Amino acid sequence: MNKKSMKIDINKIPLNSSLGLLAYGHIAFKAWRKVKKEYKEKKDEKK
């Protein structure tokens, strides 16, 4: 078993996330939160 670090392409993270994403741990989780935040900000801007 090798230590496999992960790079996240934030553009590929779905807004609603997925179980697979949750299983991937902190990096994916932080990235998802960022996606949600950006989405919310954009939505608020439109308002």
Partner 1 sequence: MKKNKVLLLGWDAADWKIIGPLLAKGQMPSLKKIIDNGVYGNMSTMNPPYSPMLWSSVATGKTPDKHGVLGFIEVVPNKKVLRPVTANSRKVRAIWNILHNKGYKSNIVGWWPSFPAEPINGVIVTDKFQKVSADIKKENPIQKGTIHPESLVKDLRDFRMFPYEITEEHIIPFIPDAIKIDQEKKNNGLIAFSKILSQNVSLQNVTTYLLEETEWDFMAVYFDMIDHFCHSFMKYYPPKLTGVTQEHFDLYKEVIIGAYRFQDMMLGRVLDLTDENTTIMLMSDHGFESGNKRIITMPKVAAAPALDHRQFGIFVACGPNIKKNEKIFGLSLIDITPTLLHHYDLPIGRDMDGKVILDMFIETKKPTYIESWEDEPGDFGELKIEEDSDILSDEETMEQLIELGYIERPDDKIETSIHKTKCDLKHNLARVFLGKKDFIKSKSILLELINEKDPIDIAPYYIDLMTACIGLKEYEEANRYLIDFKKVKTPVNYNIYFIESDILLGNGNTYKALKILEAAKDKKPNAEIFYRIGNILFILLKYEEARDSFELAIEMEQDRAKYHKALSDTLYELQEYEESAEYAFTSIELVKYFPAAHYALGRALEKLGDLNNAKIAFETASRLTAKTYSYKEDKALENIEEKINTPIELKDKSNYKYRDNQIIVVSGLPRSGTSLMMQMLDKGGVECLIDSKRKADDSNPKGYYEYEPVMSIQKDNSWLVKAQNKSVKIVAPLLNQIDGQYRYKIIFMTRDLDEILKSQQKMIGKNTDVLPIKLYNSFKKLLKFIDSWKNREPGVEIIFLDYSEVLENPKSSVETIERFLGTKLNKPTMINCIDKTLYRTRV
Which residues are near partner 1 by CB under 8 A?
Answer: 1-6, 14, 16-20, 22-27, 29-30, 33
- Please state the closest distance from residue 18 (CB atom) to partner 1, in A: 5
Nearer to partner 1, 12 or 14 (CB): 14
| Whether the Cβ atoms of residue 13 and residue 35 lie closer than 8 Å to each other | yes
- Cβ closest to partner 1, residue 5 vs residue 11: 5
Alpha helices in 1-47 (DSSP H): 19-23, 26-46
Q: How many CB atoms lie within 10 A of CB 32?
A: 21
Task: Give the residue with the Cβ less far from partner 1, 14 or 46.
Answer: 14
